[in-house]
Structure 1
Amino acid sequence: VGDSAETDDEYPMSDAGTVAEARHLLTDWDAEQMRVITADSDDRLIVEAGPGTGKTAVACARLAHLITEEDIEPSKILMISFTRAAAAEIRARLHSYVGEASYAIHNATIDSHAWAVRSGHDPSARLTRSYDDNIESVIALLTSDEDVADEYSRVEHVIIDEAQDIVGPRAELIESMVGHLPTDCGVTIFADEAQAIYGFSKRNSKRNIRSNDGSLLERVRAGKLGNFSNLPLGQVHRTSSAQLKTIYSDLRTELMKSEHQVLELRDWVAKAIEDLSAGDFDEFIKQHPADSPRDLLVLFRNRADVLDFSQGQADAHSLRLSDYDPGLPAWLALCFSHFLEPFVSEEKFRELWFVNVEGKGKAREEWSSAWLSLLKLAGRHDRVVDMLHLRRRLGGARPPIDVARSEFGLEGFTLSTIHASKGREADVVILMMPEARKSRSVEGVVEEARVLFVGATRARKELYVVRNKSLWTERLNSGRLFCSNQNSREQQVSVEIGRKGDIEPRFLVGATQFKSAEAAAAQDFLASVSRSVTAYNLVKRPDRVSKYGIHFGEPETCVGIMSGSFSRDIQEISFRPGGVSFRTPDQIGNVKAQGCSSIVLAPEDGNAESLHEPWASSGFLLAPKIAGFPSYRTDRS
């Protein structure tokens, strides 16, 4: 359905997949899981799946069963995931089940699916519009454009994840989409009301649900999408810990009851989680005295707390934040920034990899999986990769999930907000328990209780709870967070760095910003630290626009320039309307970068003309993956 940026039918692979090998997968499932996996292809199911019950594995096994046993063509299956990370996990796991057939399945987030449909049918479609605008446009197209509606008539099965968190226009789009499916098209919807944290979903609602109101789960229960059968997944498989199983099952049951005093529910859940945890941070250090476990997930309530904690970490780690695009891996620019040929063969790519990437910390065997991902994106039948087509695929606003990273940063432990951790699990979880928010509404209290429940159920083996006082932040119109303490003489600020748009290609290798030799030296330096944590200083440039250069070391190497939007935000913090004005800082120190990512420009991108060679022609360049919450101090202007 649509020409999604997350699928590729233009350059098909030669093998349809070893689907016969998937038949052995119908073993080692519990009875509830088997009922979901082997349900008839035209069944319409709502699957109530608590945390740790194997939801993702069951969804993949159901897809494999539909392909191998029900003979449904993969291209006629639509899989709607809640996040790009979840879509990537589904794709990877499904590939192990059915081989290359997994790439024919339309596997996308709601936003990516909406854009694919709209861009294929609306000549006025623009990526500059908001996600909600695109979704509203597709809803309108479904009712006004017969060609759009006709596309859904060819779909034979749809799987939708996290229905409890699909709200507003996205829920309305799914409702409209299901209404245009053939009557014999099956639909499998996975949901868990106890994990509804993206908008309150009221239990047992008796109200009439308007077409633009209620989560997708509420709409299904109200009969807005037709008749659905309910199937539960109740057995916890994620953990063998008795304490964690109590949280996964018993606490979930209690959370769903209405017997508790609602305004005390959050505190009751917090105490239960603390009582059932393995202890606090001191206990964590006692159990892991040498090094932190590699599979460690540290969870916070707010984005600013994640960035502030990351700011103080010297070890490599990654960030999982809803508003942060993980970007494209550095190996793309390392291999192709100086490659100007129209096609690349497997032999040539292997040579590029071992010259430019192997010595930068990548495992030797990873070159082959990288090559396969390139083939899937832009491979021709003669098994060479078309570089112009590759740039078009990678240069879009929503790069394909086959190559885009799922987390921001490097390998190592992961810092995340609880919201962004959905679908993620780890052997060891440290839950930074936030203070109770001052909310008197039923919706607010219940949502906070569910947020804590979601955080606690990410753990497979060990859960530690640390009481944490969240930062008090303000938000600029741009969305940037900051903290400010000031008196009549000086201002101390901590500010969010790493938002989309903070670094642009022309501020890395632009011909008007750098000499050619300077740009080359900067890119060479970034290549040398592409797998390292690096601390930079942002230094105000001696020009009228007051942009900040990104500097490292003595003598200083300037690797780029922060964007004008970043400078304007710093000015807005310094010059508050009706208050005391302060000077903008001359320098912001200790700005952390978690390695580098690749920026890829499509051949038609006009920004390429402003760059030095070879980047103007190749379209590939490196950018530091800056993210943090650094502080600075300044006095009155």
Structure 2
Amino acid sequence: MNSIKPVKAEDFARSLGLPSDEAGLPTRGSIAEAVRSFVSVNRVADRDELEEWFLTLASAAGYTGEMLKKRFRSVCSQLLAAGDCAAASRESSTFLISVEPKTVDLETEEYVILGDAPGEAMSGAGKNVIRRVGRQQGSVSLFDHLSPPPWPAIAESLALNQDTSPSQILTSVRLSGGLPEHHQQSGLERKYEVSLQGTSSRLCLAADGEQDVPLLCFQGEQGNERRIRLDSDEYLSWLYLSETGIDGTRDWPEDLPLPSTVLAALTLVGEPLDDDLTRWDLSDKARTTLSEWLGIPLAEQTPVTRDPAQSKVIDSSASARLLVAAGPGSGKTWTACMRVSRLIEAGTSPSRILIISFTRAAVAEIRGRIASFLKDPRDAYQLNIQTLDSLAWSLNAGAGGGSQTSGDFDGSISAALKLFADPEDWLLDEIERYQHVLIDEAQDLTGARRALVLAMLRNITDECGVSVFHDPAQAIYGFLDVSLQGVEKELESWEPPFENIALDRNYRCKSPGLEAMFSEGRSLLRDTGLDAREIYSRIRQRIEETASPANTRRAADERRDTFYLYRWRGQLNSAIDQALRNGTPFRTRLSQHRNLVQPWIAATLHNFVGRAISRSEFVELYSELRPHPGLPAEQAWQSLCRICGTTATEIDLARLAEIMLGRSPLPEVAISDVGPRSAPLFSTIHAAKGREAETVVLSLPFEPNDKTDDDLLEEARVLYVAATRASSELRLAASPRGMKTLNNPSRRTWREWSRSKSPAAKVEIGCPGDIEPTPYSSSSQSRDDANFVLWQSSERAQSVGLTFADGRYRITMSDTGIEIGTLSNEFNMDLRSIAEKLTQEKVYPARNIEGAFMLGATSVANLDEAGMPSFTLVPILSGAPLVFFNRA
């Protein structure tokens, strides 16, 4: 008779698929596998029943105790946050739902698979909750899978510019002194408080009766404590990250909740070191990737050591007059901010320093960076930093010119300029009080703005110093009426004289060849002894010698850090059309569309009837969306609350519709670049100014003929700006065939198609006003069908057909035939204009047009006569379909 041998606990646990780790608990990977299996079999699983089932299974293997429950729940939190399964709530129960499989490219040379994909992943029985797989076709980038951080919304809620850098948000709030008093909260009992190292700021959660109140607390100018109520508890955690960056996850404060999106990111690329999910192990590649996603660099991207030119600018006296030519990547902003901070530390009163910047976003950035360099950051608040427009309005107001400041910006500039024709004593007193004036981006000051700056500089005292930062090589706008070299010559002839300093070292370039080409290009554009034709030819030649050909497809071209740049919008449209036909992923910024809105709004609300919606109603509708939007329901709700919330539990849909119908974009829910965030950017050269990428593929334009010298110089600067967008590699591609432009408000591009016996043209589709703003069908079933397929295709390019019926072109999905929209009469009129230019005859466009595409979908709103709101999805069209014209 065989004896029965006892089975060791660890062997039995392993046979159940629950091996233990060094802590004596089932590995996180094995728990995740068990959860996935249960959810996959049941499709929908009650979370309490799932936990009971797992604890029973684990107890059979000898695992018990509260630590086991804690680990199980933390693993479930990771799976839900990462998107391995979805969750829905009904009454008091939470359900886990199986989702379709998705492969995510982690941007770290690793791939993971999420959802119901049994047998397709490597073993997940170890520490990793998420399953790794090999390289997969059709993978989604990590940046497209994750929701973007809510920095614009946080900045707006704190009364800051929405473009404020995440790392400068807290500094900017401290410098501004906080929000108006009605935002202050006094006498509240604090439940917890997190201090930010190296600052006087604290993140607090306080109790106000039964309600929790998130507060940002900091020391005011008078030494008193300022308290600002935040719009969301989660903003506390994001503000903590804004100050610490991704390194804050190494030891996350126990009291702060970890945002679900951050938990998703950490789960996908890292490993937790505890079951509280407060300490994480991240590789160097993962830290770099997550820092890029956060928008907060791992370290300040500034020169480690100064070059002599930077030292000359920074260390010059307050009375020095400097004309600083600073090229792209030369550390211009860092040098300018260091100069101002050095002046303050040397004794110049901040209130007697005037800084003129080109944009409001730059104003916030400059003040924040200067504050970070000062021993007492509050000194930066005393600086007078203005755009030229705001300075002009201030001067006009000082003159008592209320009527003069009520017009547009150009009128205000002209009115301020007239004040200097015969300056009064108050104006001279105002200008003469300054000890130093710093002007940024001087090449962008043209016409009356340029004249105003020069008039102001003529009236400062001889002891007042001036620092003018400019880059003549980047003046690329053809409407400029004065070249920047004219400004240089004028300033150089003044007394006291200006000293010319060039910041020639490039801190952006990672390629010696690019750096040499950038330097030579700047020298050529500043050489007044060469004629325009020679400057253009030599810059073009250097670009051609430095760049590599783009005749083969490389993996880098498919990445988000690649720009494809085109000289003309018609060339860009041709390239977009070709990419759509070839199925090549790309993203582009539709600058002509200023109010594209995230599609999840209409997808959630299109069947809802009412002027307001409660939180529970919204969450229920939102949770039913398939595919799931990816954005947590609470975050989506908070976004709408900040736009049109009446209470914490209700939003005003009529107000939301009214705002969506207006001209102003909604930064909280706006669509910026259209297309996958992981795909390369297609852009005109002008639209890419100020941006940079690892690789730039430049569509080299044809050499210009019969151009004036000014035109040739502009073309040379355009090429230079395009080339200087690259930090590692520049590649050249042939220019796609351009298109003509209609001289009307739509500015639609088109070109004749000569490969057909019948008159035909390639015609751009997707201009503003192309889609009818009203619902495209009176049938509720048709609208439901359209919204369903538009939501299914809301983030990927799809082919659509155009069929003429009842005086309009109907838009239908090519694969299903479902109608998704209607083209406007403006589109019809543009087709007639093109027909006239083609044939000078009476011809009619074909009833069927093929070759159009939708890049995605946007939400639109409508208000009926009774003020009742409705929401629907409409396609975002693009491409240049071939239109045939038939003779009568």
TM-score by length of 1: 0.70
Alignment match, 1:48: 325
**1:199 corresponds to which letter in structure 2?**
G
- AA paired with 1:635? N
- With 568-577 and 31-40 compared, the bigger mean Cα shift is at 31-40
Give the equivalent residue in structure 2 for 1:301. 567
1:307-456 correspondence to structure 2 within 5 Å = 307-313=573-579, 314-320=583-589, 323-325=592-594, 327-334=596-603, 338=608, 356=625, 359-360=628-629, 396-399=662-665, 404-411=670-677, 412-456=679-723
Aligned partner of residue 528 in structure 2, secondary structure: coil
Query: How far 1:315 moved relative to its partner?
Result: 3.4
Mapping for residues 46-445 of structure 1, pairs under 5 Å:
47-55=324-332, 79-81=357-359, 134-139=408-413, 142=416, 162-168=441-447, 171=450, 190-199=469-478, 213-214=481-482, 218=486, 222=490, 232-277=502-547, 279-282=548-551, 284-285=552-553, 288=554, 292-313=558-579, 314-320=583-589, 323-325=592-594, 327-334=596-603, 338=608, 356=625, 359-360=628-629, 396-399=662-665, 404-411=670-677, 412-445=679-712
Aligned AA (1:552): M
Amino acid across the alignment from 1:557: I
Whole-Å Cα distance in 2 between the matches of residues 529 and 176 of structure 1? Answer: 56
Please report how far the alpha carbon of residue 30 of structure 1 lies from its aligned counterpart in structure 2 after TM superposition. Answer: 2.6
- Secondary structure, counterpart of 1:307 in structure 2: helix
Name which of 293, 301, 306 aligns with 1:30.
306
Cα distance in 2 for partners of 1:94, 1:66 equals 14
Cα distance in 2 for residues equivalent to 1:343 and 1:106: 45
Once residues 445 and 332 of structure 1 are traced to their aligned partners in structure 2, the CA distance between those partners, rounded to angstroms, is 48
Pick closer, same or farther for the CA change 1:41–1:328 going to 2, 3 Å.
farther
Name the SS of the counterpart of 1:164 in structure 2: helix
| Cα drift, residue 443 of structure 1 | 0.6
Corresponding residue of 2:812 = 551
Indicate conservation of the 8 Å contact 1:538/1:588, yes or no. Answer: yes
Deviation at 1:115, TM superposition (A): 12
Shift of 1:427: 0.8
Query: Following the alignment from structure 2 to structure 1, what is the Cα–Cα distance between the partners of residues 371 and 598?
Result: 22
8 Å CA contact 1:583, 1:636 repeated in 2: yes
Alignment-mate amino acid for residue 586 of structure 1: R
Aligned residues: 579
Counterpart residue type for residue 135 of structure 1: F
2:696 match: secondary structure? strand
Report the Cα offset of residue 235 of structure 1.
1.8
CA spacing shift, 1:54–1:16, aligned 2, 3 Å:
closer
The CA deviation at 1:458 is 0.9
TM-score by length of 2: 0.53
- In 1, are the aligned partners of 2:524 and 2:535 still within 8 Å (CA)? no
Quick check: 1:159–1:187 contact (8 Å CA) kept in 2? yes
Can you list the C-alpha shifts for 1:411-447, whole angstroms capped at 9, x where unaligned? 2111111111101111111111111121331111111
Deviation at 1:194, TM superposition (A): 0.8
Alpha carbon RMSD of aligned pairs, Å? Answer: 5.8
Question: Aligned partner of 1:476: which letter?
Answer: N
Alignment of 1:516-531 (within 5 A): 516-531=780-795
SS at structure 1 position matched to 2:330:
coil
The code of the aligned residue for 2:818 comes to T
Match of 1:503 among 771, 776, 785: 771
CA displacement at 1:582 relative to structure 2: 1.8
| Distance in 2 (alpha carbons) for counterparts of 1:262 and 1:434 | 17
1:476 aligns with 2:750: no
CA distance in 1, matches of 2:504, 2:887: 61
Counterpart residue number, 1:564 = 825
Map Cα deviations across residues 511-540 of structure 1 (whole Å, 9 max, x no partner): xx5333333332332222221112212221
For 1:457, the equivalent position in structure 2 comes to: 724
Structure 2 residue aligned with 1:582, among 843, 847, 871?
843
Report the 3-state secondary structure (helix = DSSP H, G, I; strand = E; otherwise coil) of the residue aligned with 2:843.
coil
Per-residue deviation, 1:588: 2.3
SS at match of 1:312: helix
In 1: Cα distance, 2:601 partner to 2:460 partner: 39
Provide Cα deviations, 1:102-123, integer angstroms capped at 9, x if missing partner: 99999999999999999xx889
CA distance in structure 1 between the aligned counterparts of 2:651 and 2:170, rounded to whole angstroms = 14
Partner AA of 1:275 in structure 2 = E
Partner Cα distance (1:496, 1:396) in 2: 25
Per the alignment, do residues 436 and 406 of structure 1 end up closer, same or farther by CA in structure 2, a change over 3 Å counting? Answer: same
User: Please, which moves more after superposition, 450-459 or 6-15?
Assistant: 6-15
Aligned equivalents of 1:408, 1:621: Cα separation in 2? 19
Give the AA of the match of 1:413: P
Compute the displacement of 1:137 (Å).
3.6
The answer to whether the 8 Å contact 1:335/1:357 transfers is no
Distance between the aligned counterparts of 2:874 and 2:609, measured in 1? 18
Q: Which letter maps to 1:327? A: L
Kindly provide the amino acid, as one letter, of the partner of residue 636 in structure 1: R
Q: Per the alignment, do residues 634 and 170 of structure 1 end up closer, same or farther by CA in structure 2, a change over 3 Å counting?
A: farther
Amino acid aligned to 1:608: L
Give 1:567 deviation, angstroms. Answer: 1.5
1:595 offset after TM fit, Å?
1.6
Counterpart of 2:116? none
CA contact (8 A) 1:48 1:232 kept: yes
One-letter amino acid matched to 2:801 = N
Structure 1 pair 550/104, CA: closer, same or farther in 2 (3 Å)? farther
Separation in 2 of the partners of 1:34 and 1:386?
Answer: 56
State the distance in 2 between where 1:104 and 1:590 align.
Answer: 58
Distance 1:392 1:432 in 2: 42
Amino acid at match of 1:136: D
State how far apart, in whole Å, the 2-side matches of 1:474 and 1:194 are.
28
Q: CA deviation at 1:493?
A: 0.5
Q: 1:622 aligns with which of 865, 873, 888?
A: 873
* 1-structure distance, mates of 2:854, 2:675: 8
User: Secondary structure of 1:52's partner?
Assistant: coil
**Percent identical residues:** 28
1:49 partner amino acid: A
Matched residue, 1:539: 803
CA contact (8 A) 1:171 1:216 kept: no
Contact kept, 8 Å, 1:353 with 1:367, in 2: the verdict is no
Q: Which amino acid is the alignment partner of residue 28 of structure 1?
A: V
**Per-residue CA distance 1:132-156 (angstroms, 9 max, x = gap):** x9433433665799xxx99xx8999
Q: Is the 8 A contact 1:516 1:612 kept in 2?
A: no
Q: Which moved more, 1:186-195 or 1:157-166?
A: 157-166
Determine if contact 1:318/1:415 at 8 Å carries over to the other structure. Answer: yes
In structure 2, relative to structure 1, the CA distance for the partners of 1:42 and 1:258 (3 Å cut) is closer
Once the 2 structures are TM-superposed, how far is the Cα of residue 466 of structure 1 from its aligned partner? 1.7
Residue identity opposite 2:764 in structure 1:
E
Tell me the equivalent position of 1:609: 864
Please name the residue that 1:632 is paired with. Answer: 883
- Distance in 1 between residues matched to 2:589 and 2:526, nearest whole Å: 28
Post-superposition offset of 1:175: 7.1
Deviation at 1:630, TM superposition (A): 2.1
Query: What is the deviation of 1:54?
Result: 3.3
Instruction: Name the aligned partner's letter for residue 498 of structure 1.
Output: G
Q: Secondary structure at the match of 1:490?
A: coil
| Between 183-192 and 586-595, the greater mean CA deviation after superposition | 183-192
Task: Measure how far apart 1:199 and its partner are.
Answer: 2.7
